[in-house]
Structure 1
Amino acid sequence: MMLHWIIAALGLSSSHGYVQVRVAQNIGFRRSSSNTPLKKNVIRALRPAYFEPSHTTMSASVASEDVPPSTEAKKSSSMASSTFNLAKGIMGAGAIALPGSVSAIGDVKSAIWPTFAILVVMGCFSAYTFSMIGAECERNNAATFDEAWAATVGEKSKWILSSSLVITTYLACLAYSMIIGDLFSALTASAGATGFLAKRSVSILGITGIVVVPLCFLKSLAALQYTSILGVIGVVFTTVVMGIRSMDGSYLPTGAFFANLPAFKRPLFDVKGCWKLDEKAFVLISCLSTAFLTHFNAPVFYNELENKSMPRFNKVIASAFSISTLVFAGLIGFGFRTFGENCLGNILNNYAATDGLASLCRIAIGFSIVFTYPLAFTGLKNGLLGLLNMDNPTEAQSAILTLSTLASITAGALVLQDLGFVAAITGSLMGSLIIYVFPGLMRLGSLKNFPATASKGQKVRAWGLVGLGSMLGCVGVTVSILKQFTNVLA
């Protein structure tokens, strides 16, 4: 049924009857002085970057000696392969922030039902706008996101895309650093460490200094390009483990792990005694927007789809978004059913350090984060170089930019501890732009360029997306900040 709903939503954009992503051309990215080839510069917020060898091509302007010219040939993907890769692209380690967002609307177990409804609606909207971007690529014969933007909105405003991707990848790296601190401090506690060694700040500084920084200075990221699959495996495994723990009673007052938890991590239900969709529901909506934020990948998937056409593209989208929605529903349902109001921003923080299965989840997701971090960071760094118009930075300039950017991210991770807040800000700020506003503006520009195909309904839907995204962004950011730092919404 969910699949049919999404297909129906996609039908609105199908009537308009891992493109080659180019670091030097797509979304304002530039080349660093180390000649590091960025395999793909399409990075998703709060999840590992999407890197797939069968979809990897580069511009000759950034190819280095370790990448043979043959890899630049455009390759096509079957529908099955595209569906798997898109589902893999949507799902990622950031999904562990989703269960904690349910408490924004209530602390009763029945709150998961309106949450599921919102999840499906957000999935349909996200799938629809993902399809819209593909339709604009088809209509304008565009190979990349910035080509589609230039053809519909205009060349002069392409800096908006560069800025958006820089902000999105910065927030992604911030979330990665926060997750590293959460997971590895819990793992050290599981190993018996106490006091200083078990501190979150020590894990952040230690892993960043010993592992992340050297990886971010690698001249070639080819060895890391396959690690995105680890994040998906970790999320699926975590969902299964959370399902087991929600059913075996381990975290009930009589359960094996209940006594090992501090009060703020223990299950808590029915204090408010109801659920309601008020202004705080925008926190939930913002987090769910982050979950589906993968729209910079749309041109890639459309253009590299075998025998590409909008009907085939929409079938891929419907299947991939449905699979992802089901996994997200599992994470949300199992997590909230276990801990209720006390679900933390990183749901794995709720599970006891002595829980062996939870420790395996932390290991799986933790290592996927560490080894995909450099992929996201390289996208961020190249984006910054592009915005700064530094086509050929010196080694010293490149090193200073790397270290200063990592330092600011690490400082943010040390101060901020609620992953759910970062997810909500990312979703309300960048998700609203990339999922709703950008596709709406592209459609409006396309209708202006092709007036013969324009209809009042299409214009209304496009303006509706722009208005919806603007409203969700403004209200979502405001509510998230007020909820996090004040008692105004208490």
Structure 2
Amino acid sequence: MIRLSPLLTLLAISLPCTLWTWLPRYISGVEGFNLPSERLQSSNGLVLRLLANKRNSSIRRTSTSTITSTSTIDKERKVVLFKLNCAASNEHENKLASSNNGDGERRIVVNVKQRKEIIKAGTLNLVKTMAGTGILALPMGVAKSSDFRSGIFPAILLMSVLGCVSAYTFGLYGRLIHASQAKTLTELWEKTVDKKTAWFISAATLIFCLGCGLSYSLCLGDVSSSLAQTIGWEGIWVSRRFWIVVLTTTVLYPLCNLKSLVALAPLSLAGVMAVLITTVFIAWRCPLVNPRSPYSTIIPGGGSLLMTLSPQQFPKFGTTSKGLLNPSSLVLFGMAAFAYLGHFVAPDLYHSFVSADNDDGNNLVSSTADTSTDDGVGNSHQNHADTDTGSDNAILNSFFRVSLGGFVLTTIINCLIMAFGFLTFGGNSMGLVLNNFSTLDRGATVCRFFTTISVLGGYPFLIRACRREILGLLKLFSNRDPKPSDEPVTTTLLLVSLTVASMFLSDAGLIIGLAGAVMGSALAYIIPSILFLSATNNKNKNSTINMEQKSRPRSMLLERLFCRFLVGFGTFAAFASIVSILGGV
């Protein structure tokens, strides 16, 4: 085994981070060079990148009564001509034209290729948002209720049901944002429920992000310690506390103080790779998939790495079964709420499609001709509203497609890692399932390396989200705008607090379960249901939006009943999960 100098390794780690911190600042000042114009959002430590809109020369604005021939328009773009008839007719078929029809016509140019690219990018980033360190704790959630292999089936059923519910509430956020055009969840609460209690949304998001940050610090300490043992280091060099301090001061601190996080965008791809590689690796190490797995206890002669495991890592099966209805199963509920929580990026995701449409000629290119008539003031206005409605529906449909794709993929990944991790280690599945694997396992070493890169790249986005919520709450309660000097001070205090807390805590699964049970349940189940109930309540005078509950009374009534159930279910499950986790039931 090749031994590497610890000091040279630390230098190799800190030097690239220093360059990554200062290189973008230097390049941005070079004449003729501009950084990519990408709009980035933070979520569970992950990047939500919006593709830069490129206008194609084939798109032409309609400035006169003559419309450019559609044969010259790029095949990758869909051109829809909406005719605003200046006469009395308002029928929809008269709005669609395919040739020159004179004055009063508008053209909507929908860049189909660009929209598909944004949908693909949004889906992958939504998966990356949810598939963080939380998925690595799911096997332990199953182990809390049973160490029999048959216990995985009700666990998969529970994860699938919670995935469907989480996808529904995520879509509910999209519908509410669509109706209110709110930019943040806090603004959505202000428009729907009450301005006086809107601070609760910021506090909930802050607490959840702090829980994510703490789990990230614990994950960094665990995987870095395992990597050091693989290299062959000893003593303080394999201490998890040592690596938490070193990585925080030499890597995370300069990255978290970057003015722009555009330079960290490539690490989003590393995060997706880490999830996929870890999923495939855990599946291949499962004895039921690969009978010759080095962790197999099924066939004689298998399990070549079992002797390198400690008693806490060794597979354990067939001793305890408490059942899915036991309170211990609520530990898995809290972890599932954490693993499926990407709801706080819903406003950014929705407005990414709005920005794309606005940048592409504002989607609606109007002619200079006068479209009003003697008796058609309402006609012109109505046609314009219909056109906007078509564009809005396209935006909302794109949001739903991203939501569906993201949650389906996340559910599959969650179930695979949960199932294969539990079927490999059973009742001894640890809070971070990678800790169960031997330090001599090369595949586990690769997974730990990519996980480290993913966490280091996502940590600055978590810190930025926490800082934004803290400064927002400070502005709300102190009635003063934050100063520029408040940002680095807040960043330093956050890093110090999370680092100190990670010194005294060691179980990432405990933190993930608590964060998911408390704020995961609130953001994923309780808050969106309350928002929907308030928005569809005609008696609510505080709400500034209306979800048109009179248009479909029966379906709306059923949906309101379901949302009431989610409020009660989320509240009960949150408190029960906290009791189960802290009580060690």
The aligned residue for residue 460 of structure 1 is 561
Aligned pair partner of 2:483 in 388, 393, 402: 393
Question: Residues 239 and 330 of structure 1 are in contact (CA less than 8 Å); yes or no, is this contact kept in structure 2?
Answer: yes
Aligned pair partner of 2:328 in 274, 280, 288: 280
Aligned pair partner of 2:348 in 287, 300, 303: 300
- 1:24-45 deviations in Å (ceiling 9; x for gaps): xxxxxxxxxxxxx99645422x
Distance 1:361 1:432, change over 3 A: same
**Letter paired with 2:51:** S
The aligned residue for residue 430 of structure 2 is 344
- 1:289-348 deviations in Å (ceiling 9; x for gaps): 111100112233334347535555434322221111111111111111110001000000
What is the rounded CA distance, in whole Å, between the counterparts of 2:156 and 2:505 in structure 1? 28
**Letter paired with 1:267:** P
In structure 2, the residue corresponding to 1:50 is in which secondary structure?
strand
Matched, 1:49 2:139: no
Question: Residues 49 and 121 of structure 2 are in contact (CA less than 8 Å); yes or no, is this contact kept in structure 1?
Answer: no
The aligned residue for residue 403 of structure 2 is 317
**Letter paired with 1:202:** F
Following TM superposition, by how much is the alpha carbon of 1:230 offset from its aligned partner in structure 2, in angstroms? 1.6
The aligned residue for residue 256 of structure 1 is 304
Distance 1:244 1:328, change over 3 A: same
After the TM superposition, which residues 158-173 of structure 1 pair with which residues of structure 2 at under 5 Å, given as runs?
A: 158-173=198-213
Distance 1:482 1:394, change over 3 A: same
Matched, 1:431 2:520: yes
Following TM superposition, by how much is the alpha carbon of 1:262 offset from its aligned partner in structure 2, in angstroms? 0.7
Following TM superposition, by how much is the alpha carbon of 1:409 offset from its aligned partner in structure 2, in angstroms? 0.5
Following TM superposition, by how much is the alpha carbon of 1:157 offset from its aligned partner in structure 2, in angstroms? 2.2
Aligned pair partner of 1:443 in 513, 516, 532: 532
After the TM superposition, which residues 71-110 of structure 1 pair with which residues of structure 2 at under 5 Å, given as runs?
A: 77-78=115-116, 79-110=119-150
Aligned pair partner of 1:411 in 471, 483, 500: 500
Question: Residues 213 and 463 of structure 2 are in contact (CA less than 8 Å); yes or no, is this contact kept in structure 1?
Answer: yes
**Letter paired with 1:289:** A
What is the rounded CA distance, in whole Å, between the counterparts of 2:306 and 2:229 in structure 1? 17
The aligned residue for residue 268 of structure 2 is 228
Question: Residues 53 and 225 of structure 1 are in contact (CA less than 8 Å); yes or no, is this contact kept in structure 2?
Answer: no
Aligned pair partner of 2:574 in 448, 473, 480: 473
Following TM superposition, by how much is the alpha carbon of 1:376 offset from its aligned partner in structure 2, in angstroms? 1.0
Question: Residues 103 and 340 of structure 1 are in contact (CA less than 8 Å); yes or no, is this contact kept in structure 2?
Answer: yes
Bigger Rg, structure 1 or 2 = 2
Aligned length: 426
Question: Residues 77 and 304 of structure 1 are in contact (CA less than 8 Å); yes or no, is this contact kept in structure 2?
Answer: no
Give the alignment's Cα RMSD to 1 decimal.
Answer: 2.3
Following TM superposition, by how much is the alpha carbon of 1:158 offset from its aligned partner in structure 2, in angstroms? 1.9
**Letter paired with 2:295:** Y
Aligned pair partner of 1:379 in 457, 461, 465: 465
What is the rounded CA distance, in whole Å, between the counterparts of 1:107 and 1:205 in structure 2? 36
Distance 1:133 1:182, change over 3 A: same
What is the rounded CA distance, in whole Å, between the counterparts of 1:168 and 1:273 in structure 2? 31
Question: Residues 133 and 215 of structure 2 are in contact (CA less than 8 Å); yes or no, is this contact kept in structure 1?
Answer: no
Following TM superposition, by how much is the alpha carbon of 1:276 offset from its aligned partner in structure 2, in angstroms? 4.1
Question: Residues 152 and 442 of structure 1 are in contact (CA less than 8 Å); yes or no, is this contact kept in structure 2?
Answer: yes
Matched, 1:238 2:336: no
Matched, 1:207 2:247: yes
Distance 1:274 1:482, change over 3 A: closer
What is the rounded CA distance, in whole Å, between the counterparts of 2:321 and 2:466 in structure 1? 44
Following TM superposition, by how much is the alpha carbon of 1:200 offset from its aligned partner in structure 2, in angstroms? 1.0
- 1:270-290 deviations in Å (ceiling 9; x for gaps): 112564430111100110111
Distance 1:41 1:164, change over 3 A: farther
Q: List alignment gaps of at least 5 residues for structure 1.
A: 1-36, 57-74, 484-488
**Letter paired with 1:103:** A
Distance 1:55 1:419, change over 3 A: farther
Distance 1:421 1:101, change over 3 A: same
Percent identity of equivalent pairs: 29
Following TM superposition, by how much is the alpha carbon of 1:194 offset from its aligned partner in structure 2, in angstroms? 1.3
The aligned residue for residue 482 of structure 1 is 583
Question: Residues 95 and 235 of structure 1 are in contact (CA less than 8 Å); yes or no, is this contact kept in structure 2?
Answer: no
TM-score by length of 2: 0.69
What is the rounded CA distance, in whole Å, between the counterparts of 1:49 and 1:148 in structure 2? 22
What is the rounded CA distance, in whole Å, between the counterparts of 2:491 and 2:411 in structure 1? 36
In structure 1, the residue corresponding to 2:319 is in which secondary structure?
coil
What is the rounded CA distance, in whole Å, between the counterparts of 1:170 and 1:123 in structure 2? 23
- 1:58-103 deviations in Å (ceiling 9; x for gaps): xxxxxxxxxxxxxxxxx97324444333333332233211111111
In structure 2, the residue corresponding to 1:344 is in which secondary structure?
coil
**Letter paired with 1:43:** S
In structure 2, the residue corresponding to 1:52 is in which secondary structure?
strand
Following TM superposition, by how much is the alpha carbon of 1:430 offset from its aligned partner in structure 2, in angstroms? 0.7
Answer with 93-102 or 142-151: which moved more. Answer: 142-151
Question: Residues 93 and 231 of structure 1 are in contact (CA less than 8 Å); yes or no, is this contact kept in structure 2?
Answer: no
Q: List alignment gaps of at least 5 residues for structure 2.
A: 1-36, 54-110, 358-390, 539-545
**Letter paired with 1:294:** G
Q: List 4+ stretches of structure 1 deviating above 6 A.
A: none
What is the rounded CA distance, in whole Å, between the counterparts of 1:374 and 1:87 in structure 2? 18
What is the rounded CA distance, in whole Å, between the counterparts of 1:367 and 1:340 in structure 2? 28
Distance 1:382 1:39, change over 3 A: farther
What is the rounded CA distance, in whole Å, between the counterparts of 1:402 and 1:300 in structure 2? 23
**Letter paired with 2:49:** E
